[in-house]
Amino acid sequence: MKPTKTLSGLGALGALSGLVYSTDAGRTCPDCRQAKADCRCGRPVIPKGDGVVRVSRETKGRAGKGVTLVKGVPLDADGLTALGKELKTACGSGGTVKDGVIEVQGDHCERVLELLKKKEPKWQVKRAGG
């Protein structure tokens, strides 16, 4: 059997893709093959949730030390980081943002509730847990 010649002698593999190299879009994402500026596969999607921002206190897995958790905030990663920084500064403590949850060290539930209600009146803010 004689091999077929297509696209500059690449054989049958050359027929799989017509475009070999292009600089039109600049750098492209290897997964979705879109331009880096238009790539959507690497960006996390903002969780929809039920529209309620929940503030709770938790000590589990922290050697008895309490932290205030803020869950369900409808913001992207940059917005969560900025809000987390603002809450930590207002409470005078440390903390972090992990997996869409803002953690503020210490028991600051009431203060965080007040700050969130003043900041975004359109959010429904509730105390969760005991």
Q: Where are the extended beta strands (E) located within the chain?
A: 52-58, 67-71, 95-98, 101-105, 124-127
Of the candidates 120, 114, 92, the one whose C-alpha atom is nearest the C-alpha of residue 104 is 92
pLDDT tens, the chain, 130 aa long: 555 555 555 555 555 656 666 666 577 777 777 777 777 776 655 666 678 899 999 888 878 889 999 999 888 888 899 999 999 999 999 999 998 899 999 999 999 999 998 887 788 889 988 6
pTM, full prediction:
0.63
